[in-house]
Amino acid sequence: MWLDAFLSAALAVLGAVASPIVAVVGLPQGVVFALGLTAIGAALLLASFGAITAGLLIVRMRAGQYRMPAGLRLPLPAPMRPPTTG
């Protein structure tokens, strides 16, 4: 979960910071290509983390466990965290 949150933030920063720089400064083609590959790689990692998480939650739900695991630490503010026991 923490790596997922970090990659989400990194991808957002990459898009928000790098895109205007590329548009205004006109970086060399190699740098633009590297930034594009980095963004695609981060997006693929995020998609795979989401698929793994969804798969694990589906397995838990099929086993009758409808709450989040007790030991799971979510990178969310306290009011946004779902209940983990029950």
Residue pLDDT, tens place only, 24-45: 887 888 988 988 898 888 888 8
How far is the CA of 46 from the CAs of 24, 29, 54, 61, 63, in angstroms?
Answer: 28, 26, 12, 22, 26
What is the domain extent for residue 54? 2-65
| pTM greater than the 0.85 cutoff | no
The pLDDT tens digits for 49-61 are: 888 888 988 998 9
3-state secondary structure of 70: coil
Place of tokens 């633009």: 32
Contacts of 78 (CB under 8 A, 6+ apart): none
As for how many domains the chain has, the answer is 1
Six-digit token string for 4: 């997922």
Q: Is there a domain that residue 82 lies in?
A: no
Q: Is there a domain that residue 74 lies in?
A: no
1/4: higher pLDDT: 4
pLDDT score, position 71: 73
